[in-house]
Structure 1
Amino acid sequence: MILRLLLATFVVCFGAVNSKKVEQVHLSLSGNPDEMVVTWLTQDPLPNVTPYVAFGLTKDDLRLTAKGVSTGWADQGKHGVMRYTHRATMQKLVPGQLYYYQVGSSAAMSDTFHFRQPDQSLPLRAAIFGDLSIYKGQQSIDQLIAAKKENQFDIIIHIGDLAYDLHDQNGSTGDDYMNAIEPFAAYVPYMVFAGNHEVDSNFNHIVNRFTMPKNGVYDNNLFWSFDYGFVHFVALNSEYYAEEMSKETQQQYKWLEQDLAQNTKKWTIVMFHRPWYCSSKKKKGCHDDQDILSRDGLKDVFPGLEELLNQHKVDLILYGHKHTYERMWPIYNQSPFKSADSGHIKNAPAPVYILTGGAGCHSHEDPSDHIIQDFSVKALGEYGYTFLTVYNSTHLSTDFVDTSDTTGKFLDPFVLEKN
């Protein structure tokens, strides 16, 4: 610990050794099926040089290039440490094709990574979770790295609370986390949005470290949507409500109305950080005012979301924040819709809810300490994530992956079917 503090002091005061070094490489989707975005970071600016990505079909022939853009930004800590984020978009990519790539500039280049451009005609496989850090989440990180090596998923979605916290120790916690996940995030699109731990300094780190699909309103990674095969994914910022940011809340709601009205996909999956329904130590379950404000709304100041999502027949809602896993029945207006088989629901009359906030949080919760609610189907206390598979226009499945070992254990198989 003393050595780490001394090193951190040296870096702040004198600059990191080889600080033009490329680090924290990660991929993301732009929303266009023939594109892949790559984002990376350097600790020093790159004056008089151009960041870029070089890519191609073999490691030894990276003949294609795309120019990057750079953003310098200051951490909110007392030292105001500067970092430099670089972004480039690879275009005209062929679905299913394996590509190799390097990022950097004439000052320094990264290792060579690879990815397979998503073939959206095939079933979609996604790892979805919230609340992950290195401190308690290394087993989940290790399992995700192992699963990536076995080609087990096409995208990863992190639904808030990254690193605990990205801005800690003048941002070095965020650097450590982003480097720790590079072994999967540089190979599979890693999609993120904000939880309560990203709020600090107007969402400074999540705005500047990542590159998510543009929404045409703020384009700052805090809410977005994209289509993938049969699915329309929507990520919302519940922290606008919790922080009582009424203007941003209303702008997001207007965007969401339009986004859902234009949606033509068979499945609609919505994600945000704070839960609307789950079991907890309270008799009413998770019913904190900050959490359910986005569900119910408040007069004309904070428009509630539940009615809108139900109106547009959203199929699945996932969130985190509470540090456990729980799958629930379809629910609307606090009432569950139960059927004969909780493991296979057909033509659900309301969204199915999944709490998946146990990937690697600092304070884990066990269902044995909770008052299990009437709408609850399955509650688990293991560390892990939700594995989503969308097979076609009529069937999708979810499962909970226990990450206590790198092989992964599946503990909650569930099928959602619709005509």
Structure 2
Amino acid sequence: MKKKILSLTISLSIAMTLFSSTVFKVNAETLTYNETTINENLNATVVPDHIVLNWTEDPSTTQTITWRTSKDVNAGEVKYRVKGSTDFTTLNVDPSNIKLFSTVASDTAGSMKVFSVTIKGLQSGTTYEYIVGDGTNFSNISTFKTEVSNNSKTKFLIFGDSQSGDSSKPIYAPWHDTVQKAYSENPDANFMVNIGDLVEQGQNYQHWNNWFNAANGVINNIPEMVVQGNHETYVPSGGSSKPEYFTNQFSVPNNGPFGYEGQVYSYNYGNVHFVVLDSQEDEEAPSNDNFLKTQADWLEQDLSANKQKWTIVMFHKTPYYNKKTRNNPAVKDIFTPVIDKHHVDVVLNGHDHGLSRTYAINGDNYYTDYSKGTVYYVTGRSGNKFYTDLSNKTWDAFFQDTQDSPTYEVADVVDGKLTIKAYKYSTTNPAYSNSTLVDTLVIDKDNPNNSTSLTLNKNDKTKLSVAGSVISDYDVDVVNNKAYVDPSKIAEVYKGTYDKTTLTLTINSKKYVFASSDLLNNDASKVNLDALYKSGIDCKYNSDLNVVLIDFTGRVDTTGFTGFVIGSIPNSGTNPPSNGSNPSGNNGSSTTPSNNTSSNAGNSNNSNLTNLSSSSLPKTGSVIGMDLIIVLGITIILSGICVLNRKRISEKIHKIISK
């Protein structure tokens, strides 16, 4: 009899526990992330959703939470408690932090309410549970954890472009798969970062609706510290604007330059100083370098005050790019001198959708010693969109194509050691059905010999690199330390022309005309490199690699230019040649992962942009609804009663069935 009573007691206790944790009206909605319809409420309801954690103040004692509801909700509150405790503390949202958000004219007409609240006075190193709502309708329970005191350990997830790839097809299932997988395998991550182009069309709310739904279960449990990309500025009618949808949905530190609120900021976590910049001059202030210079001035002040052991700067567009010819010269010219001056350890970029990391770079010189330069890391793509014209560039120590799979990175900082591991994961490519490690970068300041080795391939003969890609079957003529280049090789890369009779190189409708005095032995295929530079073509010579680099930036300044000297003393010239690294991060000889292309690579002749086909995928990270909890509770109670008297219950059930 005692056993029967004990069984019933346990059953009732379990059931009551289930009911006690669901005393509020909660959201039991099934989320979709490939939806193509949206209503006047932007699919918002009275029940909060699009819940996202950010930091605006000290991560060890505060937590900022932002969410949205339909426009008829006028009040907001957060209830929170230390995980494992019983009673919630309630904090009301200040009316000044409740915004009516309305779409732009060219988007589907609609509006919603956005709420934001910062909880202060929290205990460091503590996990909290929380719900948000209006006093009647509440979200499901989520958690957050404050930073521990005197922290020197940091773990965060990195996601490159998560956009759909087609503004008319807001497909975010690949983004859902990537972010959910990364978090499920790294539940101890302190936070996550997206390196821009979160969505395909930033001023189109359907894309945001799907993006938030896809990330549900992650961004409401670990903070999301966002970086803006160029696609955040795009409007449905064409063109671009300020990224209003982006800045209205994420709460970030308000410590950047005036006019860049929500777009430029910095914060500390552990012994790392993080900086976020806005690289979108072309979209927000075309041909106005002051847009970037204002940020560079602020960056100078910010980094001058930085006392952290590590510094990581994040912005979307790539100074050291993967695309065939698409470069970002203004970003490179204006941001990198400040980065060089303050020796930023790593710069995280997106935009190109490739996975790559450079040598340690300072002043366009390449080094094998991490203490002498900055690693520029292109973070791949976590969503549906990929390019087919990416390649391993002269400045890359590692490169891998991402046509065959989305990617994500996991960064760990432990005291003086930084590790970044890159993974491929795909639900459509069996080769990456599990998270597959493809690269590891280790920078160990305390024990440099443990760092991932970097080596430079110095060519015996001077080579030509056009848009970062070496022309393999061509050698530059060098006479008396002067280089002579065949302009037709440049024209081939840019799909331009070179007229040997008129000595005219035409690239993108612009003409570069040379004189006969610029030729070697009156040979039209051998033009002095100095003449190319003076004509406005960006030229450099890298003595470590013995490579002439040609690019078109429109930013050449010949003031004080005295000519190139080929064969000068190398900048670093230390280690033996190699190209790539072991995915495990081990030093020494290893087999570099191949520059994989997917089964879709055959489409490369049709377009440089390809989208993975959409599919109806399982919804992971979903929340148990109230109805399921009730059924489960009743089942448990009945099970306990059955233990008390199996025979009596059986007879009653039989009578009911007979009726």
TM range (shorter): 0.7 to 0.9
- CA shift for structure 1 position 253: 2.5
- Equivalent in the alignment of 1:388: 411
Counterparts of 2:436 and 2:172, CA distance in 1: 16
- Equivalent in the alignment of 1:342: none
- Equivalent in the alignment of 2:254: 214
1:402 corresponds to 2:402: no
- Equivalent in the alignment of 1:268: 311
Q: Which sits farther off after the overlay, 77-86 or 407-416?
A: 77-86
Give matches, 1:7-406, under 5 Å. 8=38, 11-12=39-40, 19-33=45-59, 34-47=61-74, 50-58=75-83, 61-68=86-93, 69-78=97-106, 79-119=108-148, 121=151, 123-133=153-163, 138-150=173-185, 151-168=187-204, 171-200=205-234, 201-215=241-255, 217-218=258-259, 220-240=261-281, 243-244=285-286, 245-282=288-325, 286=326, 288=327, 291-296=328-333, 304-337=334-367, 339=368, 347-362=370-385, 364-365=386-387, 369-382=389-402, 383-392=406-415, 394-404=416-426
Relative to structure 1, the CA distance from residue 153 to residue 35 in structure 2 (aligned partners, 3 Å threshold; closer, same or farther) is: same
What amino acid sits opposite 1:187 in the alignment?
Answer: N
**Structural RMSD (CA):** 2.5
Relative to structure 1, the CA distance from residue 347 to residue 371 in structure 2 (aligned partners, 3 Å threshold; closer, same or farther) is: closer
Equivalent pair of 2:391/2:399 in contact (CA under 8 Å): no
Counterparts of 1:4 and 1:185, CA distance in 2: 20
Report SS of the residue matched to 1:226.
strand
Spell out, residue by residue over 1:255-310, the C-alpha distance to the aligned partner (whole angstroms, 9 max, x if none): 2121111100011100100001033324xxx5x2xx220211xxxxxxx1111111
What amino acid sits opposite 2:417 in the alignment?
Answer: H
Counterparts of 1:274 and 1:356, CA distance in 2: 11
Equivalent pair of 1:231/1:266 in contact (CA under 8 Å): yes
- CA shift for structure 1 position 132: 0.1
- CA shift for structure 1 position 213: 1.1
Report SS of the residue matched to 2:180.
helix
Counterparts of 1:309 and 1:161, CA distance in 2: 23
What amino acid sits opposite 1:165 in the alignment?
Answer: Q
Equivalent pair of 1:142/1:406 in contact (CA under 8 Å): no
The structure 1 segments of at least 4 consecutive aligned residues displaced by more than 6 Å after TM superposition are: none
Equivalent pair of 2:192/2:223 in contact (CA under 8 Å): yes
Equivalent pair of 1:227/1:233 in contact (CA under 8 Å): yes
Equivalent pair of 1:59/1:101 in contact (CA under 8 Å): no
Equivalent pair of 1:146/1:407 in contact (CA under 8 Å): no
Counterparts of 1:219 and 1:46, CA distance in 2: 29
Equivalent pair of 2:44/2:68 in contact (CA under 8 Å): no
- Equivalent in the alignment of 1:299: none
Spell out, residue by residue over 1:79-129, the C-alpha distance to the aligned partner (whole angstroms, 9 max, x if none): 442122100111122222110000111352111111222326252111112
Counterparts of 2:42 and 2:295, CA distance in 1: 39
Spell out, residue by residue over 1:6-40, the C-alpha distance to the aligned partner (whole angstroms, 9 max, x if none): x53xx23xx57872221100101224131111110
Equivalent pair of 2:390/2:401 in contact (CA under 8 Å): no
- CA shift for structure 1 position 378: 1.7
Equivalent pair of 1:62/1:101 in contact (CA under 8 Å): no
Counterparts of 1:252 and 1:377, CA distance in 2: 29
Equivalent pair of 2:77/2:135 in contact (CA under 8 Å): no
What amino acid sits opposite 1:157 in the alignment?
Answer: V
Spell out, residue by residue over 1:184-236, the C-alpha distance to the aligned partner (whole angstroms, 9 max, x if none): 00001011121001124311111111111111534621011001111000010
- Equivalent in the alignment of 1:301: none
Spell out, residue by residue over 1:350-369, the C-alpha distance to the aligned partner (whole angstroms, 9 max, x if none): 1011101311142x135xx5
Mark the structure with the bigger radius of gyration: 2
Equivalent pair of 2:202/2:233 in contact (CA under 8 Å): no
Q: Which runs of 5+ in 2 are unaligned?
A: 1-33, 165-169, 235-240, 427-431, 447-659
Counterparts of 2:72 and 2:289, CA distance in 1: 36
Counterparts of 1:111 and 1:39, CA distance in 2: 14
What amino acid sits opposite 2:138 in the alignment?
Answer: M
Report SS of the residue matched to 1:411.
strand
Equivalent pair of 1:279/1:376 in contact (CA under 8 Å): no
Equivalent pair of 2:178/2:383 in contact (CA under 8 Å): no
User: How many residues were matched structurally?
Assistant: 384
Spell out, residue by residue over 1:47-73, the C-alpha distance to the aligned partner (whole angstroms, 9 max, x if none): 3xx311110014773522333221112
Q: Which runs of 5+ in 1 are unaligned?
A: 297-303, 340-345
TM-score (norm 1): 0.84
Report SS of the residue matched to 1:202.
coil
Equivalent pair of 1:115/1:188 in contact (CA under 8 Å): yes
Equivalent pair of 1:386/1:398 in contact (CA under 8 Å): yes
Identity %: 24
- CA shift for structure 1 position 333: 2.9
Report SS of the residue matched to 1:192.
strand
What amino acid sits opposite 1:295 in the alignment?
Answer: K
Equivalent pair of 1:139/1:403 in contact (CA under 8 Å): no
- CA shift for structure 1 position 323: 1.4
Counterparts of 2:292 and 2:379, CA distance in 1: 24
Relative to structure 1, the CA distance from residue 31 to residue 417 in structure 2 (aligned partners, 3 Å threshold; closer, same or farther) is: farther
Counterparts of 1:140 and 1:222, CA distance in 2: 22
Counterparts of 2:182 and 2:322, CA distance in 1: 30
Equivalent pair of 2:178/2:408 in contact (CA under 8 Å): no
What amino acid sits opposite 1:327 in the alignment?
Answer: R
What amino acid sits opposite 2:372 in the alignment?
Answer: P
- CA shift for structure 1 position 371: 4.2
Equivalent pair of 1:137/1:359 in contact (CA under 8 Å): no
Relative to structure 1, the CA distance from residue 181 to residue 371 in structure 2 (aligned partners, 3 Å threshold; closer, same or farther) is: closer
- CA shift for structure 1 position 74: 1.6
Larger RCO of the pair (alpha carbons < 8 Å, separation 6+) = 1
